[in-house]
Amino acid sequence: MNDIKNIGILTGGGDTPATNAIIRAAYIKAVMHGYKISGIKNGWDGLITGNVFEMDRELVSGILDRGGTILGSARVNPFKIENGVEMVKENINKFSIDAIICIGEDDTNVVMHRLGQYGLKGVGIPQTIDNDINYNDYSIGFDTAVEIATDAIDKLHTTASSHHRIMILEVMGREAGWIALYSGIAGGADLILIPEVQFDYDYIVNVIEGRRERGRDYSIIVVAEGAKPDTRKMKLEVKPLIELGSHGVIGGIGNTIAKEIERRTGYETRVTVLGHLQRGGKPTAFDRILATRMGIKSIELINENKFDYMVCFEGNNISAEPMEKVLSQYKEMDLELYEIAKIFN
Ligand code: F6P
């Protein structure tokens, strides 16, 4: 056992379907062990402003299949706000929080890790549709986002062939191409463009023209919002810990590519930016199960007095790795899978 009595839960960064399933599982498991659970509203903002409340069983019932997060989310970083860390510490004392379950993408968890240096105990849960957290085959929300993007590709196929057009689907992922790669393979896209492999316009045009020669007068291209043209160099380097709050809005690459394709091939080209639809709605069964397992694991870590750890998912096993190890490196793209996808170009 340990001296933890009250556990705070927060959800930060971009929300995902199945976040509520994590909260539900962690709450139920925590209560089994006699912990009190405090809900922290809107990510780290709740600890800056003191927006904290005691959770009860009623709050987590009926939320397993509900998208979004009942705790609210925000991209707020106490290290970027004057006296932010002091305010967090004050509210930790005021609400007698002994440990935190931090649910979020890398930025939100970097804050957790850094607050550990001020004595705050916490464990992280990787939740992001971008699927870019190291030591995790799948982060929570990714599977649902892939389903949504795949469905969009299926729908684009029919209209692309009717109108003999090039259809570009721009998907999320920031600097990671996981959603593009997985949905592109699942949906049978003709080209998949990801940030990890810089693309070449000549190659895109060759694929489109090659299809035209085979009587295929339409094509589907899936592009990750962070994809970049030309040099075709790999970009797998050590990533500095990201500062939460540094997220600018990215996107628009689909339109740039569309103009170039029209200019070079004469094909009418249309762009669909899938946007926040990828983060909404009901989670898949896979995400619900993963979220449930991870929520349970977070309480087990607290029971074992293991803090500054991130819950991880590799090879269908739930494990845990030190936050520093998880957050200090890029999750490498599966380039073998990318090569498989190219077979269908
Ligand atoms: O949650 C990660 C992410 O979905 C990125 O893929 C995307 O670029 C970003 O969030 C959008 O964030 P926001 O909702 O803050 O505009």
Specify the pLDDT at position 147.
98
Dist. CA 215–CA 218, nearest whole Å: 9
Instruction: Give 276's contacts (C-beta < 8 A, 6+ positions apart).
Output: none
Token pair in block for residue 2: 């340990």
Ligand 1 in reach of 87 Cβ (< 6 A): no
What letter does residue 37 receive in the DSSP assignment? E
pLDDT-based confidence at residue 230 (cuts at 50, 70, 90): confident
Report how far residue 235's alpha carbon sits from residue 194's, in angstroms, rounded to the nearest whole number.
Answer: 11
Instruction: Please work out whether the CB of residue 190 comes within 6 Å of at least one atom of ligand 1.
Output: no
Instruction: Specify the residue with its C-alpha closest to ligand 1, atom 15.
Output: 14
Query: Secondary structure of 271-284 in the HEC alphabet?
Result: EEECHHHHHCCCCC
Q: Which CATH code, of 3.30.1370.100, 3.40.50.450, 3.40.50.1820, 3.40.720.10, is assigned to 6-140+283-327?
A: 3.40.50.450
Q: Indicate the top mutation candidate among 42, 109, 129, 181 to test ligand 1's pocket, ranked by most ligand atoms within 8 A of CB.
A: 129
Domain span(s) for CATH 3.40.50.460 in the chain: 143-280
Show the tokens assigned to 56. 């009860």
CB-ligand 1 contact for 141 (6 Å cutoff): no
Decide if pLDDT at 235 tops 50.
no
Inter-residue contact 4 to 35 (CB < 8 Å): yes
CA angle 228, 232, 234 (to 5 degrees): 90
H helices present in 65-177, as ranges: 84-94, 106-116, 142-163
Those residues with Cβ within 8 angstroms of residue 231's Cβ, 6 or more apart along the chain or in another chain: 198
Cβ atoms of 222 and 169 within 8 Å: the answer is yes
Residue nearest to ligand 1 atom 10, measured at CA: 14
Confidence of residue 128 (pLDDT cuts 50, 70, 90): very high
* pLDDT number for residue 234: 40
Those residues with Cβ within 8 angstroms of residue 212's Cβ, 6 or more apart along the chain or in another chain: 265
> Nearest-5° angle of CA 312, CA 313, CA 315?
140
Name the residue at shortest CA distance from atom 1 of ligand 1: 14
Q: Is pLDDT above 50 for 224?
A: yes
Sequence ranges of the chain with CATH classification 3.40.50.450: 6-140+283-327
- Give per-residue pLDDT as tens, 289-318: 999 999 999 999 999 999 999 999 999 999
pLDDT at 237: 44
For the chain, what is the mean pLDDT? 94
User: Of all atoms in ligand 1, which is nearest to the CA of residue 226?
Assistant: 8
Please tell me the pTM assigned to this model. Answer: 0.94
Q: Is 130 in the pocket of ligand 1 (CB under 6 A)?
A: yes
65 tagged catalytic: no
CB 16, CB 144: distance < 8 Å:
yes
- Atom 3 in ligand 1: residue holding the nearest Cα: 14
Read off the pLDDT of each residue in 9-36 and give the average, rounded to a whole number.
98
Q: Which residues pair with 132 in a beta bridge?
A: none
Report pLDDT digits (tens) over 158-217: 999 999 999 999 999 999 999 999 999 999 999 999 999 999 999 999 999 999 999 999
- pLDDT value at position 251? 80
CATH of 143-280 among 3.40.1830.10, 3.40.50.460, 3.30.70.270, 3.40.228.10: 3.40.50.460
